[in-house]
Structure 1
Amino acid sequence: MLDVQDLRVSFRVRGGEVQAVRGVSFQVNKGEAVAIVGESGCGKSVTAQTIMRLIPSPPSLIKGGSIRFMGDDLLKKTEKEMQRIRGKEIGMIFQDPMTSLNPTMTIGRQITEGLIKHQNMTKQAANRRAVEMLQLVGIPNAEARIKQYPHEFSGGMRQRAMIAIALACNPALLIADEPTTALDVTIQAQILRLMKDLQQNLGTSIILITHDLGVVADMCDKVIVMYAGKVVETGTKHEIFKNPKHPYTKGLLRSVPRLDQPKDEPLIPIFGTPPDLIKPPAGCGFCARCDDAMRICAERDADNVSLSDTHQVRCWLTHPLAQEVAR
């Protein structure tokens, strides 16, 4: 359904050019849930917004690559053509619903706007569909709620309303950019369960951008690990959690609390900071923070190595000449 190949996106700033996305490639199949994980600033949200063609230009600049959705390259579409795709074919749940929802429009109007534009519905039919969508995402008393404004909703209800807007036209692909970041744990669980049910019932493909590896383990089929604007490891969730190969992926997993570890055992953080992407390193971006770094890691970035049909990693430790790392 979605095929991203060698995507490169930069931002022009006063100090130079920030290479936010540096050759990202991945695929999403029909009905599949794919997670993109990595620390802040690694290029996850820029990748998602580039798929939707929402990053402003200037200062952004798409330097190369392709984004094929249903066989068509989205990077070659005009803005008018993208307006026909956004909401209808690809929906997006943004990170902060309070700043993403229009405070001057009722929730109902924000849902019906896409239905009237993309589905050619009458206002009455669109209102009925808006009520159905709010009921679908678990908002009670939907007939009254569609007349209310975003500030009259709680944080969890605003996020549900965002999901209703994104799913109103039954898009084939849903991009969720950290949809549970601002919510408490109970509401997080409800939102994720809702998205999982919608995926199973409607066959919607999902790209989930998140920091929470627990969410990934519960919800996603495939995991893409990004660091410093590049994909460093890709695999099924079982391959990533049971047999991680890149030192950064291992570091992410070590820094997460586990129920099978003693309570007094400290978490192991990843020390250091990500590289400056105005002047990215010549070699591996994780080299300066990696305990297993070799001289070649600083000089040249590794090629992508396929460990199986579904598991790929970009690391010199997987090279046949590399020594086995002993613990």
Structure 2
Amino acid sequence: MEKILEIKDLHVSFQTYGGKVQAVRGVHLDVHKGETLAIVGESGCGKSVTANSIMKLIPSPPGTIERGSITFKGRDITRLSDKEVRAIRGVDISMIFQDPMTALNPTLTIGTQLTEGIKQHQRLSQAEAKKKATEMLNLVGIPSPEERLKQYPHQFSGGMRQRIVIAMALICEPELLIADEPTTALDVTIQAQILKLFDRIQQETGVSIILITHDLGVVAKIADRIAVMYAGKIIEVGTRREIFYQAQHPYTQGLLHSVPRLDQKTDKLVPIDGTPPDLFAPPEGCPFTARCPLAMEVCGKVYPFHADLSHTHAVECWLQDERAKQHLAT
């Protein structure tokens, strides 16, 4: 399958009064044409920083992309000028931000905000841009689109605003859509509608999607592949079935055990004890060592090797070493 995006050894840090926060530490990822890749992990693990790096939206200062490459269709985004990146943003790569109310300008009509980008990038007339905006509102399921174009963000519900933000992201027909926690503030009914909308849009347009979330229920519905992130690193990646049924990293297993399941009878959920490591001074070994019930002495001293379990499933964990497997078997 054709790769549309490839991230290699990405390091992103933020300089603060307390020191340097190493938010992303050597991320390797790729996204294929027409697929949905979900990046999951608890708050603060580096998911949104990785997404903003793809769009080159890391504020500098205090943020810095220290090293690594983000290759989109053969071009390394980290080496492009601001002008070159602006030509890509919204046209080839679009992003849906976490809170639709803050993503929309409360003083401008929905029509103005929808047509602004397409008029700039595609040089359309006002009438052509309005027609395109109407089509996009239809696509995302907003009734009476021509009337709705004249209204302001406060006149829409949370679910409707989220649909408008999705329409804004898709109006220039991007090849890659980054959705950063797109269903976090919505109730479960609206969440289901938004996820169904993503699935339909992908089938109709062929857009590739990076879905950033901490909600494994969302992931189970629409993700083709899943990357599990912890303390700024991708610690496991695989297809949806591999992650949900054959997870190998103790952190991934812990995430799955802490989610309620309808197919199992349990009296209580099993939480992951402890807290994530301090990224001002991240550990040299596996960052999950202090919380891992299966941790060995080597785990805290040396970062684990990259183990390919199949052509789609990979994990970074010392438990995949043959010596550890033999020890656990006895």
TM-score by length of 1: 0.98
Provide the residue aligned with 1:304 in structure 2: 306
TM-superposition CA deviations, 1:39-95 (whole Å, max 9, x none): 000000000000001110000011100000001000011111111111100011100
Is residue 2:83 matched to residue 1:56? no
**249, 252, 264: which is aligned to 1:249?**
252
State the one-letter code of the partner of 1:271.
D
- Matched residues, percent identical? 61
**Superposed displacement of residue 326, structure 1:** 6.7
State the one-letter code of the partner of 1:233.
E
Is residue 2:192 matched to residue 1:189? yes
Provide the residue aligned with 2:69 in structure 1: 66
Distance 2:7 2:109 in 1: 36
**Superposed displacement of residue 229, structure 1:** 0.1
State the one-letter code of the partner of 1:314.
E
Distance 1:115 1:44 in 2: 28
**195, 206, 220: which is aligned to 1:203?**
206
State the one-letter code of the partner of 1:272.
G
Distance 2:314 2:176 in 1: 24
**Within 5 Å, which residues of 2 pair with 1:71-110?**
71-110=74-113
Is residue 2:57 matched to residue 1:46? no
Distance 2:306 2:98 in 1: 30
Distance 2:81 2:113 in 1: 24
**Within 5 Å, which residues of 2 pair with 1:123-142?**
123-142=126-145
- Which moves more between the two structures, 97-106 or 166-175? 97-106
| Corresponding residue pairs, total | 326
State the one-letter code of the partner of 1:298.
G
Provide the residue aligned with 2:170 in structure 1: 167
Q: Secondary structure at the match of 2:86?
A: helix
**Superposed displacement of residue 323, structure 1:** 3.5
Q: Secondary structure at the match of 1:12?
A: strand
Q: Secondary structure at the match of 1:49?
A: helix
Distance 2:267 2:320 in 1: 30
Distance 2:228 2:143 in 1: 37
CA-based RMSD of the aligned residues comes to 1.1
State the one-letter code of the partner of 1:119.
Q
Distance 1:303 1:17 in 2: 26
State the one-letter code of the partner of 2:54.
I
Provide the residue aligned with 1:215 in structure 2: 218
**239, 242, 247: which is aligned to 2:242?**
239
Provide the residue aligned with 2:154 in structure 1: 151
Say if 1:243 and 1:139 are closer, same or farther in 2 by CA, change over 3 A: same
**265, 274, 285: which is aligned to 1:272?**
274
> Which consecutive residues of structure 2, in runs of 5 or more, have no partner in the other structure?
none
Q: Secondary structure at the match of 2:141?
A: coil
> Which consecutive residues of structure 1, in runs of 5 or more, have no partner in the other structure?
none
